[in-house]
Chains A and B, each alone.
Chain A
Amino acid sequence: MTQPLLKLENLTVRLGQGERAIRPVDGVSLEIHRGETYSLLGESGCGKSMTALSILRLLPQPIGRITDGHIYLDGEDLALLPEAEMRRIRGRRISMIFQEPMTSLNPVLTIGDQIGEVLRQHHGMKGRAAQDRVLEILDAVGIPDVRRRYREYPHQLSGGMKQRVMISIALAGEPDLLIADEPTTALDVTIQAQVLELLQQLQQDTGMAILLITHDLGIVASMADRVAVMYAGQLIEEAGRDRFFGAARHPYSQKLFESLPDVHKRDHALDTIPGTVPALDHDFSGCRFEDRCDVAWDYCRSHVPDWYAAADGQHARCHRLDESITAPATDARTRPAKPVAAARTNHVTSHLEVADLKVHFPIHKGVFKRIAGYVYAVDGVSLSIPPGCTQALVGESGCGKTTVGKATLQLIRPTHGRVQFGDTELTALKGEALRKRRSDFQFIFQDPFSSMNPRMMVGDIVEEGMIAQGIGKTRQDRRARVHELFERVGLSPEHMQRYPHEFSGGQRQRICIARALAVDPQLIVCDEPTSALDVSVQAQILNLLKELQNTLGLSYLFITHNLSVVSYLADRVAVMYLGRIVEEGPVADVLERPLHPYTQALLSAVPVVEVDSRREIIRLEGDIPSPAAPPAGCYFHPRCPQAMAACHDSYPAETVSGDHTVCCFLHQ
């Protein structure tokens, strides 16, 4: 093979001083060749981003520094270059795009200026020539109407557009290597598909190498040539893509696959990885994954595993690959997946019936705050959730799914429509009457970090709802119940006296679930409860939710954008677009035989883990229109690949076939 473009040798990074310094990157060696997409996969806190930042020498100052190792770019050691020389490398030879396009652009400079800056810096281009080149680049990243966009400011662009601008800034220097740090995590699936396709196409055109940092196995499967898994500051496995998805060798990689939810695992509990990533502030005397690994044995604890080679350039850091050691046989591989606890016990719960729910937010303008228009966040949604069932609500961000959840629970008062829960009409309840009724329906928030008061102990947080609802007569009663709830969600009751910041993300979400359960609800609205969590932790939470449903007979309204979670957990699914439900039906029906073109596009855009089943992605043009000014006719028609004349004129009525409903003229 030729000389690699980028070669890391035993790269070691430390944050902080002294004995307790954190080692986010601890001896990473890898090679990236020209024209290749190299994917770095791992959970949060494993040192992926630190590796990328140290390649560009952009570690947080003054605490971060490279203490050991070499970074060769075409044979030149970047770690030895003076800062002035390094500036020549950044943006010119190596560019980086960041996760959050909203904060990576300077809000007071126009798009054209920000791209032109790179050209001036690295190519000495000015004036007319620079402007022409900027327009050319903007065109290349698929931004329509480039002459207008050139003079616009970042806030005038949508998220997907901003990420395209970020990519064009990165490309302006014509780099040899593009580092993409979670480039699509902040974007919706249809936009994500656009951006990933763009990156692939640009790579074909320019022959640059891409270092793709991600936690999403689906993206890796569709993008990468080679994959490296990072865990606790080290690479633990490296392989070609097909090899990795076919025969991952490290127990951690295998576990990652098993913890992914999908439709085939519906009847089982998902496999989880117990525990958390170890703290990185000390030396390890054994394997770093040993305490979470279910095939580890004594040897793993006392010996640090080497970087063992397997066939086809695959490497893994696990003693099981060392042929000189005879590992004890394990039954873990053959162990059958745990079935989910007993059949559903439908105890008395109520039926939720939402009819023609509308939430319109007024837009105020002028000195006297005159109402100038409305944001049609939710515009006529009807749902029905029988007791003990899970209704999923999917859609892209801004389509109003969270608003539906909050309006159902009267956290936002709906503008119009009925919400019938059991035999009570919730929209008619006010003040004290509503407050008393609140114990029946609860909400679990997306971000467990911000949904708990940082100044209260978690025991008090769980107890608060009970006090408000008058559950438990004495403090002892309530404490006993909190104790019981902690055990139920898999937390140690001794943790009651701690503060939220002392827990990991998964534990916090468990506390939030315990808090919701404390008031004996019949319905829980889960607003993306796992999207802020890592894959292995997501599996724990999904297992818990499923188990609770089976034992307590809860109903869930499950709001998410993650279709694999839907296929694992939900009974029925509704697809929302711009405030309306476009398709609704049983999960298997909707996901296997989608009828609405939007559902079809959404499903095709989701990156799937199986490498061989590469489907044709239906590419949606443009972004979701603003809910303040929805298009005339069918809301989806401006982006719809199958739009007809009728679609421009009126909104299609519901077509019902069996228990599968769709709003589209194609099916009338």
Chain B
Amino acid sequence: MIMPVILWTDALIFLLAAVVVVFILYARSKPHIRAPWRRVFSGKVAAASVVILLAFVLVGLLDSMHFRLPLAANGDSGEIHYAGEVLSTLDVLVGPLRTQVEKTYSAPFATHLFSMETMEREDGSKVRDYPRLVYGASGLGVAVEGKTGDIFKRSLLAVVETLLASVLLLLIMSAWLGRRHGQPVVATAKTILQDALSIPWRTILLTLSLLILLLFLAINLAAAYHVLGTDKVGQDVFYLSLKSIRTGLVIGTLTTLIMLPFAIFTGILAGYARGWIDDVVQYVYTTLNSIPGVLLIAAAILMLQVFIANHADYFETTVERADIRLLFLCIILGITSWTGLCRLLRGEALKLREAEYIQAAVCFGVAHGKIITRHILPNVMHVVLITVVLDFSSLVLAEAVLSYVGVGVDPTMNSWGNMINGARLEMAREPVVWWSLLAAFLFMFVLVLAANLFSDAVRDAFDPRTRSR
């Protein structure tokens, strides 16, 4: 039996996922909500970005299911002891990537370590050379011959597999769409390939194929090589990058989730109630705004470190300790970033409270609470949505900066910021250890770019001012 471990951030992430699913189910029956979303997905760039974002989310969700494995039963007490190491579903899926640890740095697709070592030969003589990697290119034997051929063969295999999978995907897609529109599969497949549908299914298919290609390349190549090299302690950089996705997503989403209720409540209240409530809210956020954010974050994180050090017994595993720090970082980032949304919502509520439909509601004797929830809230949701999506990418980047400075996530936690921080010292080395930095950059770049493109599409679709028609 495995022992499930539910971390705080896990619980919040699944809560968020559940909220999103519920919202989608709810929105399906509301044409005024569905219409702008259809507009979002009718753009090719946005559709492709969504597919990429979903791939990231999938990795993040897989990485959010944690558990501990039982140790081999020893003794006859019947009591099961569990390993101190907390694993996630992703760890299991990537299998050997996690465990195949080299001694230290090695370049992508390398066969030997990056630095020379003095080794003892069988005859007892000492030689200084690059040691052979234990796992990297292990299939090629000690002689290390035909590496290019092997890589080529494996890549070709991946391409073939991708083609097959894509055709299969096209068939599934056409069968599903065809059934919905009551058309034969072949005809639907044709319309998809001609891109004649209102939602760009061809773009979605192509993006998915690209992702599948990357997946198969990873499966085929990463099994035999360290595709993105290894880091200082020999861990696979590709594995580290994958694990960092969850951290980035948690920071990007949970921060906004934590600040949302507060920002929405105070913002609308200030705008709707006006008077002294408005004054108080305004003074609070102007004051908060004038304190440098990094200062607050640094102070809060240092305080938390002291707390953790003094109460080590509260946490069973290091993962739990790192997790509480991550959560705290989200909270403190949320506290420093809610003011922007609050200000926007206050302005919007000020405008709406004079709207005639609000006055009509007052005229019917509708209570204030009802007016806020039924009339004001639904009419400011587009502002909230646009802000959340726009904030996401800046928060992902903020994590990297904060970890680099040293007030970000726990050093034991995998994150792009920590990867960059680790690579920083090696940049001065000759030859340069470039792969950690590049890997973190690539993953972060793709995620943030996709998020930005998506948020542009969301803003265009939801903001009444930018709608050109």
Contact = CB atoms under 8 A, between A and B. Distances in A.
Nearest to A412: B359
A655 B133 CA distance: 109
Interface-central residue, A439, A451, A453, A499, by most chain B CB under 10 Å: A453
Contact of A435 (B31, B367, B374, B375): B367
Nearest to A519: B364
A450 interface: yes
Nearest to A525: B363
B365 A436 contact: yes
Contacts of B367: 435, 468
A450 B32 CA distance: 16
B366 interface: yes
Nearest to A500: B357
Interface stretch (A90-98, A269-277, A441-449, A536-544): A441-449
A453 B379 contact: yes
Interface string B115-141: 000000000000000000000000000
A210 B357 CA distance: 40
A452 interface: yes
Interface in B333-368: 355-357, 359-367
Interface string B397-422: 00000000000000000000000000
A475 to B, nearest CB: 16
Contacts of A406: 359
A438 B365 contact: yes
B360 A468 contact: no
A278 B292 CA distance: 60
Interface in A458-507: 464-465, 468-469, 499
A189 interface: no
A362 interface: no
B370 interface: yes
Nearest to B357: A453
Nearest to B360: A451
Contacts of B362: 411
B225 to A, nearest CB: 53
A445 B356 contact: yes
Interface residues of B, number: 19
A455 interface: yes
A443 B357 CA distance: 11
A443 B363 contact: yes
Given A454-B32, A455-B32, A468 B370 contact: yes
Interface-central residue, A437, A438, A455, by most chain B CB under 10 Å: A455
Given A453-B379, A455-B378, A455-B379, A409 B357 contact: no
Contacts of B374: 453, 456, 464
Contacts of B32: 454-455, 499
A434 interface: yes
Contacts of B356: 445-447, 450-451
B357 A442 contact: no
Interface in A398-444: 406, 409, 411, 434-439, 442-443
A499 B355 contact: no
Nearest to A453: B357
Interface-central residue, B360, B366, B375, by most chain A CB under 10 Å: B360
B31 A445 contact: no
Nearest to A442: B363
A515 interface: yes
B229 to A, nearest CB: 51
A606 B357 CA distance: 32
Interface in B261-275: none
Contacts of A443: 359-360, 363
Contacts of B355: 450
A456 B375 CA distance: 9
Contacts of B31: 499
Interface-central residue, B355, B356, B375, by most chain A CB under 10 Å: B356
B377 to A, nearest CB: 10
Contacts of A438: 363-365
B365 A445 contact: no
A454 B360 contact: no
B366 A452 contact: no
B51 to A, nearest CB: 29
Contact of A450 (B357, B366, B370, B378): B357
A468 B364 contact: yes
Interface-central residue, B360, B363, B378, by most chain A CB under 10 Å: B363
Interface of A: 406, 409, 411, 434-439, 442-443, 445-447, 450-456, 464-465, 468-469, 499, 512, 515, 519
7 contacts: A434-B365, A438-B364, A443-B360, A468-B365, A468-B366, A468-B370, A512-B360
The 3 closest A-B pairs by CB, nearest first: A465-B364, A435-B365, A438-B365
Interface of B: 31-32, 355-357, 359-367, 370, 374-375, 378-379
Given A445-B360, A456-B374, 9 more contacts: A411-B359, A411-B362, A443-B360, A443-B363, A445-B356, A450-B357, A455-B379, A464-B364, A512-B360
